[in-house]
């Protein structure tokens, strides 16, 4: 388990060079709408059906179906910019933010359920200290697509959004038991500035001492590769391949765009898609900036895929890997640890020491002593021990495949009395879950 040859793929962490203009954090970790368990990327993949019209995944713990989400958070690293329009013929191309946006379906189907859920969610008040959009869980709490209604990415509903406040005049697509929506605007450009005459009519003045506000976090449905392929093929067939190179791609087809960004980064494949993020309306207060060079702009966007989504954690306290980081930080500052912090420090050090000796049984027993048996938990023992091991000992030193094997052996060795105190979420991952992670690699924790 320790110091072994990594047999499972490890997602390469992109290196910050210091000239990045935007940092994008993405996580596919989702919460089951029925049992409340946290379902991680490889578990979501294993729960997908071989059906290019089904957006749902199956929860590995309660076997119910739900719609997983990609949560996206932005960190703007640019200086604050002000825009001034010159006297020119393009003056009338500046629109106010209260122009209604319409989302027209490619094919209308009758609404089969009164509970129409937003597929794209934006949060009005992002919290600067959060890692991934906290509002994603509440804004999309009812966004699962009933399996019997998931008839394909063309079962769509029209939605009109009209709001002038920042963060609210953004397009949302709705599900009528079907998944995706191609969002078309009745006014082009909808709001912002015409990119055709922009270079001669708009000047940008950057104040490097002022910090730009971060764009609002957003959530879109997390699509299986089969569904994404079908949607992408349909898009290219209807609009031509030039659509993926234009600035309107991210605004009009956000679900396809963000899923493509996720998969290209997930597979460590080069892509110019991130170059569209910097100039998008969403990252510039509703103003569409002109494209310069996609390949060059892509180098200015740092994209990191996170394994966990800390904002979905609802039980008291922190996950162990977060506690370990905070304790290390406090130690460097020579802070006096409280009694609770000392107890947590002892726990994480004992677990770390056990893992160094390839002993997984002891950490399970230590966690059993800590938790209340009758209280439903959201964090599994498996994730607590694995994530703490990766963070405290270094992901390069942990063979996740070997860890899974050791955890499985430890779980099987537990007595019936001990197993009765554990919950379904504590079981080792299935072989299909393991294979999904082996094929796609492990995100960053």
pLDDT tens figures, 131-167: 443 333 443 444 455 544 444 444 333 333 333 333 3
The whole-angstrom separation of Cα 27 and Cα 120 is: 15
Does one domain contain both 218 and 187? yes
First to last CA, the chain: 18
275 or 126, greater pLDDT: 275
Q: String of b and e for 338-348 (b: at least 16 CB within 10 Å)?
A: eeeeeebbebb
Residue 436 lies in a domain: no
201 or 14, greater pLDDT: 14
pLDDT category of residue 284 using cuts at 50, 70 and 90 = confident
pLDDT above 70 for 413: yes
Planar angle of CA 417, 422, 423, nearest 5 degrees: 140
The whole-angstrom separation of Cα 137 and Cα 311 is: 8
DSSP label at residue 394: -
- Which residues on neighbouring strands pair with residue 122, listed in sequence order? 218
* Model confidence pLDDT, tens digit, residues 116-132: 334 555 555 444 444 44
Does one domain contain both 391 and 299? no
Domain ranges, residue 356: 320-376+381-422
Mean of pLDDT over the chain: 75
Does one domain contain both 63 and 204? yes
Residue 113 lies in a domain: yes
The alpha carbon of residue 416 and the mean position of all alpha carbons in its chain are separated, in whole angstroms, by: 38
What is the DSSP track for 309-366?
-GGG--SSS--HHHHHHHHHHHHHTTPPP-HHHHHHHHHHHHHHHHHHTT--HHHHHH
Does one domain contain both 299 and 211? yes
Lowest mean pLDDT across 96-105, 277-286, 376-385: 96-105
Residue 106 lies in a domain: yes
Residue 2 lies in a domain: no
Does one domain contain both 215 and 301? yes
The whole-angstrom separation of Cα 425 and Cα 61 is: 6
The whole-angstrom separation of Cα 336 and Cα 357 is: 30
| Residue that finishes a domain, picked among 293, 312, 331 | 312
Pairing of strands 301-306, 22-27: parallel
Task: Write out the E strands in 307-390.
Answer: none
What is the DSSP track for 72-136?
EEEEE-SEEEEEEE-SSGGGGG-B-TTS-EEE--SSB-----S--EESSEE-SS--TT-SS-THH
DSSP label at residue 18: S
Mean pLDDT value of segment 360-379? 92
The whole-angstrom separation of Cα 433 and Cα 421 is: 24
| Residue that finishes a domain, picked among 264, 285, 312 | 312
Rg of the chain on CA atoms, in Å:
23
What is the DSSP track for 179-218?
-------SSSSSSB--SSSHHHHEEEEEEEEEEPPPPPPE
- Which residues on neighbouring strands pair with residue 102, listed in sequence order? 160
Residue 440 lies in a domain: no
Does one domain contain both 402 and 371? yes
The whole-angstrom separation of Cα 68 and Cα 39 is: 9
Mean pLDDT value of segment 258-269? 95
pLDDT above 70 for 84: no
Exposed/middle/buried for 135, CB within 10 Å: 0-12, 13-18, 19+? buried
Lowest mean pLDDT across 38-52, 106-120, 213-227, 426-440: 106-120
410 or 11, greater pLDDT: 410
Does one domain contain both 121 and 218? yes
The whole-angstrom separation of Cα 357 and Cα 364 is: 14
| Residue that finishes a domain, picked among 295, 312, 329 | 312
Does one domain contain both 198 and 55? yes
3-state secondary structure of 38: strand
The whole-angstrom separation of Cα 289 and Cα 210 is: 20
Does one domain contain both 286 and 349? no
pLDDT above 70 for 190: no
Exposed/middle/buried for 188, CB within 10 Å: 0-12, 13-18, 19+? exposed
pLDDT above 90 for 265: yes
Q: Which two tokens stand for residue 162?
A: 């009209």
Q: pTM higher than 0.85, yes or no?
A: no
Does one domain contain both 338 and 233? no
Does one domain contain both 307 and 341? no
Q: At what angle do helices 361-370 and 381-393 cross, to 10 degrees?
A: 120
Does one domain contain both 293 and 393? no
Mean pLDDT value of segment 71-77? 92
89 or 432, greater pLDDT: 432
Conformational region of residue 246, where left means phi above 0, alpha means psi within -120 to 50, and beta covers everything else:
beta
What is the tally of structural domains in the chain?
A: 2
Lowest mean pLDDT across 67-71, 176-180, 232-236: 176-180
How many helices and strands in the chain, by DSSP H and E? 15, 16
């Amino acid at each position: 388990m320790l110091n072994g040859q990594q047999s499972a793929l490890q997602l390469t962490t992109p290196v910050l060079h210091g000239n990045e203009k935007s940092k994008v954090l993405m996580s596919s970790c989702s919460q089951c709408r029925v049992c409340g368990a946290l379902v991680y990327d490889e578990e979501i993949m294993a729960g997908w059906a071989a059906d290019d019209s089904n957006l749902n995944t199956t929860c590995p713990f309660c076997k119910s179906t739900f719609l997983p989400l990609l949560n996206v958070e932005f960190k703007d690293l640019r200086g604050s910019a002000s825009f001034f329009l010159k006297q020119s013929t393009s003056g009338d191309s500046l629109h106010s933010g209260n122009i209604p946006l319409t989302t027209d379906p490619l094919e209308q189907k009758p609404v089969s359920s009164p509970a129409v859920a937003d597929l794209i969610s934006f949060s009005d008040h992002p919290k600067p200290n959060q890692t991934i959009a906290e509002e994603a869980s509440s804004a999309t709490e009812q966004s699962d697509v009933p399996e019997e209604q998931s008839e394909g990415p063309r079962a769509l509903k029209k939605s009109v959004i009209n709001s002038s406040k920042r963060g609210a005049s953004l397009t949302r697509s709705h599900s009528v038991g079907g998944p995706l929506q191609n969002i078309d605007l009745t006014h082009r450009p909808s709001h912002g500035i015409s990119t055709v005459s922009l270079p001669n009519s708009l000047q940008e003045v950057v104040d490097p001492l002022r910090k730009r506000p971060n764009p609002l976090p957003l959530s879109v449905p997390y699509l299986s590769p089969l569904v994404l392929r079908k949607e992408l093929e349909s898009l290219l067939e209807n609009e031509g391949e030039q659509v993926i190179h234009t600035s309107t791609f991210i605004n009009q087809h956000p679900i396809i765009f963000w899923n493509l960004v996720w998969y290209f980064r997930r597979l460590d494949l080069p892509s110019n898609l991130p170059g569209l993020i910097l100039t998008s309306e969403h990252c510039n207060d509703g103003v569409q900036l002109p494209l310069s060079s996609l390949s060059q702009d892509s180098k200015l966007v740092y994209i990191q895929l996170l394994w966990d989504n800390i904002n979905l954690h609802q039980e008291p306290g922190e996950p162990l890997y977060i506690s370990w980081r905070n304790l290390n930080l406090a130690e460097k500052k020579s802070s006096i640890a409280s009694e609770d912090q000392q107890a947590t420090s002892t726990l994480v050090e004992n677990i770390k020491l056990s893992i160094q000796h390839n002993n997984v049984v002891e950490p399970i027993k230590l966690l059993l002593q800590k938790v209340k048996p009758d209280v439903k938990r959201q964090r599994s023992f498996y994730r607590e021990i694995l994530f703490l091991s990766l963070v405290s000992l270094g992901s390069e030193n942990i063979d996740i495949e070997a860890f899974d094997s050791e955890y499985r052996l430890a779980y099987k060795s537990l007595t019936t009395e001990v197993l009765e105190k554990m919950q379904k979420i504590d079981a080792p991952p299935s072989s299909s879950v393991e294979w999904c992670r082996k094929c796609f690699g492990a995100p960053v924790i």
